[in-house]
Amino acid sequence: MVDKNTALNTGMQDGLKFDVAIVGAGISGIYTAYRLTTEGANTGSQVQVFDMNTRIAGRLESVRLPGMPTVQGELGGMRYLTSQKIVTTLIEQVFADQMEAVEFPMGDPADLYMYLRKDRCKQNAWTEAQSRGQKLLTRYYLDDDDIGFSADQLFSKVIYDVLTADPWFRENFGQHVHQVDAYTYVIELTLRQWDQVKPYLTYHFEGSPYDKRLVNDIGFWNLLKDQVSQEGYTFLSTAGGYYSNTINWNAAEAFPYMIGDFSAGAEYKTIAEGFDSTVYAMANDYMRHEGACIWSENKLLTFNRQHPQSATHRYELVFLNLRSNQQWRAYANRLVLAMPRHSLELLDQDNFFFNVNENTELNKNIRSVIKEPAFKILMGFDTPWWNELGITAGHSITDLPMRQCYYFGTAKVTDHSMLLGSYGDMETETFWKALSDDPVKFRPRATRLASQLEVEALNDVAASDTMVKEVVKELRELHGVGIPMPYVTWFKDWGDDPFGAGYHAWKAGYKVQDVMPYMRKPMATEDIHICGEAYSDQQGWVEGAFCEAEKMLQSYFGLPRPSWLPADYYLGW
Ligand code: LYS
């Protein structure tokens, strides 16, 4: 089992000098520190990590609720795809002795609910109707030729139609797409092939406002509305579970995102001891090196080029030590900003690097991604009430502001159980924000397995009382049955500072194949690098963060490709 008590240094050392400063101790920052020391030739003292938080792992945060010590809860990232080879290999090979990869069960669509426009059905209702030769009617006024399609099927149909309408695509990649039957479209392009398609794919629909435009320059909402009407768009947006997936982001990027990488037979997995184990394992490995240090609760304010130590060190970093509220300075030659868009925007925007008048292009490219707010509410229940509905795992989906709930698990020795009561993004975040800001917290209660002391220890992170009542009300409506109150809750809004978003999405019109490498080294003359999930091509996945850090390490830190990574695995632009 991985040791999550990684030593953090909350102190400061004014005048500290070293080579590489990594700011941000999430996936990409800790991976960079791990690779530079364990596989590169750097000593720990030459590579220093900084983070303003009290803990590491960024947007991965695995927690346990009192009363169910064996059930893992995830407030942030919760799963990976086995087609994602860096994360998979690290977990299942490199650190296999420290963590156990387990299935992330998605349950049976025949048991799980879809509750849209006050209409409740099972998630297999569409395919069930199709097998009887019928079309499932919903409360959406769909175009005639879209009626009867499930959201997944309709997404594939739209993508198939747009791909095959482009003569260039048909000629070069036509053999990779097939219509199997009236509802089934198969699109089998690898991520490498998608990268050959995305910049050139053209929209060919005469009479459309978007005719002959690059799909890369069209918003996904714009495109979906054009294909399936605004009503069809609303169906796709709500039934898909994530509003973020159908916002008006880059349609070319959205295509492979919605299809998934079919070539590798992808399946969801997670880690028994919590998804954040990946970060702790790498951090502990880095910490074995002489002089290694993770400076937590230290907030980077700015960095300068002109300073007293410039003869030996290029950059002066100014930190605010949050415990003492004192500023201190450190000196480094290379700087890795392993942070998402909002965190970058919280740094001093007037220094030589961010200054918009000097560096217009960087400023523009930082804004090339949309910040997608997202939140999660974990709830502990005395019993898994969903078992009585025949549900064991997976998620139900609704257009109510709670959007999705995941049935996370039941403790082995007890019958307490955990529900990811609400997992919402985009506009739903503002619905909950007004409630989460309410100072009256939900009052947890002791159970036969969790003491009052234990449940009250979570008071700081508990959801507000009205919020819990609202979630339970929506859970009742979604499931159509009475549901007991939870005994404990844990709320996390990733839209809060410093993250500013749960995940990110490329804007339409940006040349993603240029911006991605640009961010890894925005200025030819400066050894400053930006990496992480935000500017990756697998946004909302840890693999995106890994791939950007890995390409940065190979291009600018002279590291060879890791020996443990399959030689043919494609890292993207
Ligand atoms: N990877 C995330 C999940 O599995 C979804 C991110 C959606 C981003 N638009 O829940």
Q: Which residues contact 169 (CB under 8 A, 6 or more apart)?
A: 163, 197, 201
- Burial 151-190, CB ≥16 within 10 A → b, else e: bbbbbbbbbbebbbebeebeeebeebbeeeeebebebebb
The predicted structure's pLDDT at residue 262: 57
φ and ψ at residue 369, rounded to 5 degrees:
-120, 150
404 within ligand 1 shell (Cβ under 6 A): no
Per-block mean pLDDT, blocks of 10 residues, the chain (573 long): 97 98 98 95 96 98 95 96 96 98 94 98 98 98 98 97 98 97 95 97 98 98 98 97 97 93 75 97 98 98 97 98 98 98 98 94 98 96 95 96 93 86 93 93 95 95 96 98 97 96 98 98 98 97 98 97 96 98
Ligand 1 atom closest to the Cα of residue 244 is: 9
Strand partners, 181: 184
Q: Is the peptide bond before 562 cis (omega within 30 degrees of 0)?
A: no
Q: Which tens digit of pLDDT belongs to each residue from 306-333?
A: 999 999 999 999 999 999 999 999 999 9
540 within ligand 1 shell (Cβ under 6 A): yes
536 within ligand 1 shell (Cβ under 6 A): no
Give first-to-last CA distance, the chain, whole Å: 35
CA dihedral 401, 402, 404, 408 (to 10 degrees): 170
Q: Which tens digit of pLDDT belongs to each residue from 224-253?
A: 999 999 999 999 999 999 999 999 999 999
Nearest protein Cα to ligand 1, atom 6: 540
Structure tokens at 319: 């930190």
Q: Which residues contact 359 (CB under 8 A, 6 or more apart)?
A: 353, 522, 523
3-state SS, residue 315: strand
Rounded distance from Cα 425 to ligand 1 centre (Å): 10
Rounded distance from Cα 541 to ligand 1 centre (Å): 7
Rounded distance from Cα 187 to ligand 1 centre (Å): 20
Any idea how long the chain is? 573
Smallest Cα–Cα separation from 269: which of 399, 121, 87, 130?
A: 87
Ligand 1 atom closest to the Cα of residue 423 is: 10
- Rounded Cα distance, 113 and 221, in Å: 25
Rounded distance from Cα 299 to ligand 1 centre (Å): 28
- Rounded Cα distance, 9 and 54, in Å: 10
- Rounded Cα distance, 235 and 227, in Å: 13
Per the CB < 8 A criterion, the answer to whether 48 and 338 are in contact is: no
The predicted structure's pLDDT at residue 183: 97
Nearest protein Cα to ligand 1, atom 2: 540
What structural domains does the chain harbor? 16-58+276-370+507-556 (3.50.50.60), 62-108+374-493 (3.90.660.10), 140-264 (no CATH)
- Rounded Cα distance, 382 and 291, in Å: 47
Q: Which CA distances in Å does 242 have to 151, 425, 428?
A: 12, 7, 10
Per the CB < 8 A criterion, the answer to whether 347 and 354 are in contact is: yes
Nearest protein Cα to ligand 1, atom 4: 79
Q: Which residues contact 191 (CB under 8 A, 6 or more apart)?
A: 256, 261, 537, 570, 572
Structure tokens at 285: 């490995």
Structure tokens at 318: 């100014």
244 within ligand 1 shell (Cβ under 6 A): yes
